[in-house]
Structure 1
């Protein structure tokens, strides 16, 4: 695969899909010059694998980022800006999210709904807003025509569980808080609101030629992906498909809801 983008930031990079994205990005034949791997607690026990990877590859920059804390987001933007040395950021992959215990429709709580919504939707919005100047810079300084992930893009990892038309896996788990905010069944996040956020981003940033898509990564064999029932696809296989799809996205895809193979899904 040709270089996907010269600079990429992945939130929630200490485990699951996020960690595998960083692994496969750095192993490309033409890897990105900068891979910003962020997570809430990079110096904690869950950040060890990420640091081990960064120790072997100087292109990986481990950055602390709590998507719910404006001060943390601001500090992360400053670190990324410093590393880019005047260049823009090509690709923002919003992967971070939280999981709450599965609840049925009648037992969901206001607290659970609000906590998940704050992290998975509002957090994604705040991170995208904060890095927007760097994305705009990359787009405006690019000689490429149209839209692509190699130019400037926001990819929000979502899920078909948030599709109002398909309502994937309802019989397995109602997970109302996840479905209503930002569903990612492989990480058991949630998502209908995230889809709307991404659609609005695609319209709002169209003039800047920033590609914006929500992407359903499939039900993958991650720590949380297997919590409801065993997943059928390994995270390695799924991430390879995701990266192949990202490399092929263009302006015709901006504002659509796609799966890991690029198939358009119903809202």
Structure 2
């Protein structure tokens, strides 16, 4: 049985990823910062809930300890928790705004990955999936034919570019762990007022694909639901 832990799994992409992986036979642990919403989501899914605030060292350590005590380890870690940041003109963005966005989207991944790596290494096929974005891809954001090429969101895009670089560096550093990044694409979620043309199920295609790779699967890649995406 594959044990999978997902951060930010109480709604949207995280919740749908959890649902699909449970359907695929995974034992899923739902991670969320809000205990009430997290428990409600876990109950609806038939999963176990573990509270985690990815910006807090003590919370992340407690979550890792909890899972270590109950499940003994994890096979798949999905770093899904993320924020978009304020919807304001670029000239009004502050260092405090950047700290909030990078604190969740980048430092949160570093914090969680650091805490969970010992649990992952108990697996015969450890896998990490970092939920990134095509908006962090230089290729996509410089293509005027793509929606990413027309968007202006300095902090979010910069944070997701950092996520993809973290992914490639972790993959080089840990040849025993498969580390990949997933681009959900423009999906109808709370992030965009449910304006995206893709369904939440389509948005989780790349995440689920990367979460279910075998020992011969890829590492150090960024993929969307159509295949590998340029950096």
Same fold (TM over 0.5): yes
TM-superposed CA distance for 1:240, in Å, is 4.4
- Per the alignment, residue 23 of structure 1 pairs with 19
SS at 1:137 equivalent: coil
Residue of 154, 164, 185 corresponding to 1:176: 154
Give the CA RMSD over aligned residues: 2.1
Partner of 2:136: 162
- How far apart are residue 226 of structure 1 and its match? 3.4
Matching residue of 2:184: 217
Distance of 1:16 and 1:193 partners within structure 2:
23
1:24, 1:240 within 8 Å by CA — same for their partners in 2?
A: no
Deviations 1:119-153 (A, max 9, x none): 11011111001000011121xxx3xxxxxxxx111
DSSP 3-state at the match of 2:190: coil
Alignment of 1:116-265 (within 5 A): 116-138=101-123, 142=124, 151-167=125-141, 169=147, 172-181=150-159, 191-206=160-175, 209-226=176-193, 230-240=195-205, 242-248=207-213, 253-261=218-226, 263-265=227-229
Moved more, 171-180 or 125-134: 171-180
Change (3 A) 1:173 1:240: closer
**SS state at 1:218 partner:** coil
Q: Distance in 2 between matches of 1:117 and 1:137?
A: 29
Could you list the per-position Cα deviations for residues 129-178 of structure 1 after superposition, in whole angstroms to 9, with x for gaps in the alignment? 1000011121xxx3xxxxxxxx1111100011111122153565311110
1:266 corresponds to 2:208: no
Q: Counterpart of 2:99?
A: 114
- Find out whether 1:98 has 2:79 as its counterpart: no
Please state if 1:52 is matched with 2:38: no
- CA contact 1:245–1:260 (8 Å) conserved in 2: no
Alpha-carbon distance between aligned partners in 1 of 2:111 and 2:23, rounded to the nearest angstrom: 30
Task: Measure the CA separation in 2 of the matches of 1:195 and 1:131.
Answer: 19
- Taking structure 2 as the reference length, the TM-score comes to 0.89
The answer to whether the Cα contact below 8 Å between 1:103 and 1:173 also exists between their aligned partners in 2 is no
Q: Distance in 2 between matches of 1:252 and 1:128?
A: 20
CA deviations 1:69-118 (Å, max 9, x no partner) are 00001110111011114xx3110000001232223333322111111111
C-alpha contact (below 8 Å) 1:104/1:173 kept by paired residues: no
2:53 to 52, 61, 66: 66
Q: Normalising to structure 1: TM-score of the pair?
A: 0.78
Q: Which of the pair is proportionally richer in helix?
A: 2
Query: Is 1:13 the equivalent of 2:4?
Result: no
CA separation in 1, counterparts of 2:183 and 2:206?
11
Unaligned 5+ segments in structure 2 are: none
Is this contact kept in 1: 2:130–2:181, CA < 8 A? Answer: yes
Structure 1: gaps (5+ residues): 143-150, 182-190
3-state SS of the aligned residue for 1:165? helix
